[in-house]
A and B are shown apart, each in its own frame.
Chain A
């Protein structure tokens, strides 16, 4: 038994495990050092946790698009980050329009619903067009081809939006209804955070319900299980794929609006980081797995928010929050190396030959 084990282990494995151990040691050491320093009081950690959860909720909504498309087409929809961007970009311009007419502050709820509807509509439309124009003709092409197309589409969309609206950064007009905050147990909770967390949970539940209990959701799961068999069962696979893209697009658009409540600036390149992080979250949870995407997103949100201060302060690194994006990427790299199937993903064996 030992001999076969030795035959299987390669230098690469040893190398990988050494890297893994080194990183784990650094993280543990940094955490202990940070906590010993006691630089931050408990309320700071709680505050960061709430921020992390809000962020995680947004990532979860974006990650849905990645994970559902992956489940069905086994491809990474790289342009999903731009679908996400299109939501808030549209929302800002609708909001500015409503604000100028004074409608926004008179009827904040209706306005918000209207904003949500229009922007989710735009992002849904873009997602569907993306599938129709860029991916459908390439469904049987080698794996890299649609990926390259997706990258191209991603840049195209970014710069189309730049052309539409200009290269500046834009912000929402003040929404008075959301200008509240409460102090609970020494920490400040903002109305926007509450809206984001509740909004994300509600939308996640709706999405989960659609996938789990509606007829079309069941068809989606069937297609992701076995495309050919579902086709034989009379499921219109093309229609399901369009629906999947649309659903992912709508949730990404909604996520975009929640995201801009947390970070109230929109730019044409704003999709890149949240997009890649949501993808990380989807992989972390187990790509193709809907609850996994939710779990992975919460973990990633927390890691990104709490992580820099917790892991890096103790190591004596100045302004650790500058490195928060790097942490997300490192999580991505590590998860793909050590457990590419993610937390909830089952071990998928290589395709049966």
Chain B
């Protein structure tokens, strides 16, 4: 059963097609990776899914529902959540507050509730803080809840960003290079953490990733984008053998490290 289907999605900037007729089908409870050289349109594709961009052509279906062109906030409320390549936390808010903002779609209290603090609001707030504390434990940031997000070390900021995304109880989580800038042991922790997301929380994970070791060890399915076009799709084994992929990486020499990783494995 596919949770997210993209049909011939195309996004142009001026004359440039950043994403060109991309077809994807992501099975529920899978870990799916999109790889490709820099500027291949991966993040643009994420932005199309989350409604930050409206694609010029094509359709995006989430759980069978057409979400093309919906505003970002509505997409999130349907159950898609994301993180960013360059961490974008609410820096001057505390860790808990970041998660509480992430829980926005499930909090009902508004202006009057906020002013009068009636029983329903109080109970909702209490439940939310408890839930946030559970999430803090899950992302292993317990005891750091009242620190400002900007004061956390890098790796913890990455985890907090995922924790914030989890706040909305998503069924599909988009992670944009979650291991960027991490050392090997941090990367290993992140890989097992992403597995836990799927295994313990039952979340489908769509991943943009540059580190081939991560991609090959974690993904069930992989798509390769190059200049906005999907040039290959398949299991890690299939991708490694695919001549187009090797050519895309090696031929241009843009990311030779990736090419080595491909052949080495």
Contact = CB atoms under 8 A, between A and B. Distances in A.
Interface stretch (A1-9, A144-152, A336-344): A1-9
B140 interface: no
Contact of B66 (A3, A10, A349, A353): A3
B101 interface: no
B219 interface: no
A353 B54 contact: no
A349 B68 contact: no
Contact of B84 (A7, A10, A350, A353): A353
A180 interface: no
A266 B85 CA distance: 53
A353 B69 contact: no
Contacts of B68: 4
B52 A353 contact: yes
B13 interface: yes
A4 B85 CA distance: 29
B30 interface: no
A352 B46 CA distance: 11
B10 interface: no
A350 B47 CA distance: 11
Interface string B34-62: 00000000011011000011100000000
A8 B85 CA distance: 27
B70 interface: yes
Contacts of B47: 353
A8 B84 CA distance: 25
Interface string A1-44: 00110011010000000000000000000000000000000000
- Which range contains the number of A residues in contact with the other chain? 10 to 19
A349 B47 CA distance: 12
Interface string B68-89: 1111000000000000110000
A7 B84 CA distance: 26
Contact of A7 (B52, B70, B85): B70
Nearest to A8: B69
Interface in B1-54: 13-14, 43-44, 46-47, 52-54
Q: How large is the interface on B (under 10, 10 to 19, 20 to 34, 35 or more residues)?
A: 10 to 19
A353 to B, nearest CB: 6
A63 B201 CA distance: 56
Contacts of B53: 349-350
Contacts of B52: 350, 353
B13 A349 contact: yes
B69 A352 contact: no
Given A349-B13, A353-B84, A4 B69 contact: yes
A349 B70 CA distance: 17
A7 B69 contact: yes
B145 to A, nearest CB: 25
B54 A8 contact: yes
A350 B44 CA distance: 11
Interface string A322-353: 00000000000000000000000010011011
Nearest to A350: B52
Contact of B44 (A3, A8, A352): A352
A163 to B, nearest CB: 38
B43 A353 contact: yes
Nearest to B43: A353
B81 to A, nearest CB: 15
Contacts of A3: 66
B113 to A, nearest CB: 23
A4 B84 contact: no
B5 to A, nearest CB: 15
Nearest to A349: B13
A192 B249 CA distance: 67
A134 B52 CA distance: 34
B9 to A, nearest CB: 13
Contacts of B84: 353
A352 B44 CA distance: 8
A150 to B, nearest CB: 23
Give the most central of A3, A7, A10: most B CB within 10 Å: A7
A100 B13 CA distance: 62
Contacts of B46: 353
A124 B70 CA distance: 48
24 contacts: A3-B66, A4-B66, A4-B68, A4-B69, A7-B66, A7-B70, A8-B54, A8-B69, A8-B70, A8-B71, A10-B71, A346-B14, A349-B13, A349-B53, A350-B52, A350-B53, A352-B13, A352-B43, A353-B43, A353-B46, A353-B47, A353-B52, A353-B84, A353-B85
Given A350-B52, A352-B13, A352-B44, 16 more contacts: A3-B66, A4-B68, A7-B66, A7-B70, A8-B54, A8-B69, A8-B70, A10-B71, A346-B14, A349-B13, A349-B53, A352-B43, A353-B46, A353-B52, A353-B84, A353-B85
Which 8 residue pairs of A and B lie closest in terms of their CB atoms, listed nearest first?
A8-B69, A4-B69, A4-B68, A353-B47, A353-B43, A7-B70, A349-B13, A7-B69
